[in-house]
Amino acid sequence: MKKQQKQDRTSERGRFSAKRKKEAVLRLLKGEELDALSRELGVTAAVLSEWREKFLAGAEANLKSREPEPADDEVLRLKAMVGELMRKNELR
């Protein structure tokens, strides 16, 4: 490939957005060859591998996450509401 053509293709690519990185990683996960995708996108195989590892680590972290604990004042408010409802039910 001529030097000018290679420079034109590189300048077209520029930096990769999160969306473009995700699309590249998904292609890898679907079975595309690392080396072929690396050549097509103009990034090293090491960079693609790093994107894949970060993507998988993020997915794993999201699967492990729990719902945030409600604020203490919210817990107290709800407990008071439950107590009030129980008191009303006992009076019936």
Are the beta carbons of 48 and 28 closer than 8 angstroms?
A: yes
pLDDT per position as a tens digit, 8-52: 344 345 689 999 999 999 999 999 999 999 999 999 999 999 999
pLDDT per position as a tens digit, 61-75: 888 867 666 677 788
| Residue 57 clears pLDDT 50, i.e. is over it | yes
Q: Does the pTM exceed 0.85?
A: no
* Burial class of residue 59, CB neighbours in 10 A (0-12, 13-18, 19+): exposed
